[in-house]
Amino acid sequence: MKRALGWLIAIPLLLAACGGQQAAQTGQQVEVTRIVEVTRVVEVTPASGATPAQPAATPAPAPAAPTGFGETLKAIRARGKLICGVNSQVPGFGFVDSAGAFSGFDVDFCKALAAAIFNDVSKIEYRPLTAEQRFAALQSGEIDVLIRNTTWTLTRDTDNGGNFVATTFYDGQGIMVPKASNITKLEDLNGATICVQKGTTTELNLADQMAARNLPYTPAVFEDANSTFAAYAEGRCDAVTTDKSGLVSRRSVLPKPDDHVILDITLSKEPLGPMVRQGDDQWFDIVQWTVFVTFAAEEFGITSQNVDKVKETDTRPEVRRLLGADPNVDLGAKLGLSKDWAANIIRAVGNYAEIYDRNLGPNTKTAIPRGPNSLYTQGGLLYAPPFR
């Protein structure tokens, strides 16, 4: 009935068009178009209870990869090695021994990346950088990734052409003084000379905190950690300030470590972690999820010693996806890596606890309690998103 009604509506319109004066050509085109539109609308009206036919959906085109996507990984593979910007003057984090070998907490995350890409931790060139050199080196492409006790801040995340990935170490700025000085609080440093490294958040935080308390002081500014702490050891300043982890690290190599005390003061929040250049989301994801692998491995009880056994026998779905044991899931392919990329990381450097204990744990000279750098299940801040 509705289909017939449609034609009944259309017929008078056609008769009127034919019986009247000859319309202009353009008028005829408009009228015919209108009639066809009316007829079409009525024709597709379904009968009572019927389901209207739906046109086949046209698949949306896949989004184009942004400019730069995949370029970093491609360049690293073509070069045959990862170039990692590191510190060389902070024992426990980034340090060079007398034989020229690099070691430390940050250095191990460089090794984790090499394991993810090459399954070979020897394919790394370590590029030691000062605080002032680091951002320019990243921007220019001199390094592929910066893993050098660098604090995540808003301006660094926007003004330096780079992006921070997951935080690997939660820290706070502190102050170290000679024990004999009897200094116990910030107010005791009124009028003091304080050694600080140039080009760091440390320098800015110190200025903020002293200004907030209306405490005059003289900053003694130096280019790198070695010169900063050498000046302090020589008595050229009354105190020295940097991240607390750095104070613990540097105190361990002073001639008489027990003659120095780190004050029970925290001047700032210092989330430290790797930084990559902006513009290559694939590389950002690779670095970020490499960090998350170490968190998840600790949470699941996977270590460098048992990873192969766990891969063969563990039935937990997320563990199987993480280690590449699920035949139906390949998370590595999402990153441009091999299916066993995560297992390679854990086998090479271990989980987060292994990395931490090896470099900063109770049996090291630094011996920094984990505190906020514990898993979320143990009251800390470390948390890996799901591997799925």
| Percent of the chain scoring above 70 in pLDDT | 83
Read off the pTM.
0.80
Alpha carbon 160 to its chain's center? 15
Lowest-confidence region among 12-16, 132-136, 252-256: 12-16
| Mean pLDDT, residues 23-46 taken together | 41
- The predicted-structure confidence for 238-281, as pLDDT tens digits, reads as follows 999 999 999 999 999 999 999 999 999 999 999 999 999 999 99
- Are the C-beta atoms of residues 278 and 232 closer than 8 Å to each other? no
- The predicted-structure confidence for 172-200, as pLDDT tens digits, reads as follows 999 999 999 999 999 999 999 999 999 88
User: Of 93, 99, 197, whose CA–CA distance to 147 is shortest?
Assistant: 93
What is the predicted pLDDT for the residue at 47?
46
Q: Does residue 27 have a pLDDT over 80? A: no
Residue 57 binned pLDDT confidence (cut-offs 50, 70, 90): low
- Are the C-beta atoms of residues 351 and 298 closer than 8 Å to each other? yes
| Mean pLDDT, residues 225-233 taken together | 94
User: Of 349, 345, 294, whose CA–CA distance to 167 is shortest?
Assistant: 294
Alpha carbon 234 to its chain's center? 38
What is the predicted pLDDT for the residue at 40?
42
What is the predicted pLDDT for the residue at 34?
41
- Are the C-beta atoms of residues 39 and 10 closer than 8 Å to each other? yes
Find where tokens 């170290």 sit: 176
Q: Does residue 214 have a pLDDT over 70? A: yes
Residue 322 to residue 341: CA distance in whole angstroms: 9
Higher pLDDT, 25 or 337: 337
What is the predicted pLDDT for the residue at 4?
42
Q: Does residue 45 have a pLDDT over 80? A: no
Domain limits, CATH 3.40.190.10, in the chain: 71-170+272-300+352-378, 173-268
Fold of 173-268: D-Maltodextrin-Binding Protein; domain 2 (3.40.190)
What burial class does residue 329 get, using C-beta atoms within 10 Å of its C-beta: 0-12 exposed, 13-18 middle, 19+ buried? middle
Residue 202 to residue 90: CA distance in whole angstroms: 15
Domain 71-170+272-300+352-378 has CATH 3.40.190.10: yes
What is the predicted pLDDT for the residue at 67?
53
| Mean pLDDT, residues 31-47 taken together | 41
User: Of 155, 249, 133, 138, whose CA–CA distance to 201 is shortest?
Assistant: 155
- Are the C-beta atoms of residues 161 and 134 closer than 8 Å to each other? no
What is the predicted pLDDT for the residue at 199?
85
